[in-house]
Amino acid sequence: MARWVMRLRGLVNCRNTCFRSVPGENAFVMFYCSCNTESSLRDKNKGREEEDEDNKIQASSYWGISRPKITREDGTHWPWNSFMPWEAYRADLSIDLSKHHKPTTYLDKVAYTTVKLLRIPTDLFFQRRYGCRAMMLETVAAVPGMVGGMVLHLRSIRRFEHSGGWIRALLDEAENERMHLMTMVELVKPKWYERLLVLIVQGVFFNAFFVLYVVSPKLAHRIVGYLEEEAIRSYTEYLKDIDSGAIENVRAPAIAIDYWMLPKDASLKDVITVIRADEAHHRDVNHFASGDHD
């Protein structure tokens, strides 16, 4: 039996394809219905343009590639390159600030004693100048996450294995602590000798913590956990001085308002409150990480 197909050339991307049996023949005639070549091509090109535009937006966060205009929710220009609007967040203010990991093992006691000894020169140098103290604290606090993330990154590519999400968690912690520092610098305006002290402390602490993390990540994370507990205490004292009027409750820096999604009329007290909540989160993460190395 003869088979024949009627083809309508030049018609592509048809919306409907209809099949109808032809009486007296064991064949089918293929009919192409509702075809429009020009409109189909236009739709395809439009889809490609939208896809290209999406790709441009996604890749625009990399340096060297011009980004599209980014605005806040109210339509005003986004001024920051260090973080984007979708990276801003609201701190968890309901977190337990009083939680304390009681030192039980030998390493726990070593970590706890080390942190207490480190607090002595800090108290002597800064006393109740909590703005400068916070600046120095954040200089130190921004190091462990970067060191831990770097060591785990190298181990991951050396052993060809995943990190279980710890690389990202630790690098996010380092970035968060760095944003704390950028905020405090806006408030404190450190003097030249304080900047010199930051340089010295960072150089010493980075190398010491790197060696410690390679030798005993369990001890390293426990030390950071206790450092964060001390940070919570320091920021609590900072808030007490603000409430008492000893420290002026000035307007919050613009970078803090955007980073923590604070109200436009946010004050220094609001900033210290969210930073303290962040420190409580880092405390929990590092104590958990230390226990995870058992």
Residue 143 lies in a domain: yes
pLDDT tens figures, 212-268: 999 999 999 999 999 999 999 999 999 999 999 999 999 999 999 999 999 999 999
Residue 218 lies in a domain: yes
HEC sequence for 38-82: HHHHHHHHHHHHHHHHHHHHHHCCCCCCCCCCCECCCCCECCCCC
What number of CA atoms fall less than 13 Å from residue 162's CA on the CB side?
3
Q: What are the structure tokens assigned to 140, written together? A: 């130190």
Q: What is the CATH number of the domain that holds 108?
A: 1.20.1260.140
Residue 149 lies in a domain: yes
Q: Which domain holds residue 143?
A: 87-292
Residue 41 lies in a domain: no
Q: What is the average pLDDT across 101-119?
A: 94
DSSP state letter for 251: B
pLDDT value at residue 71: 83
Residue 22 lies in a domain: no
| Binding-site residue ranges | 138, 177, 180, 228, 279, 282
Residue 266 lies in a domain: yes
| Binding-site residue ranges for Fe cation | 138, 177, 180, 228, 279, 282
If we measure between CA atoms, which residue out of 67, 51, 71 comes closest to residue 59?
A: 67
pLDDT value at residue 62: 57
**Taking 70 as the threshold, does the pLDDT of residue 15 lie above it?**
no
Q: Count of domains in the chain?
A: 1
Residue 197 lies in a domain: yes
pLDDT band at 38 (very low <50, low <70, confident <90, very high): very low
Report phi then psi at 20, rounded to 5: -135, 130
What pTM was computed for the model? 0.75
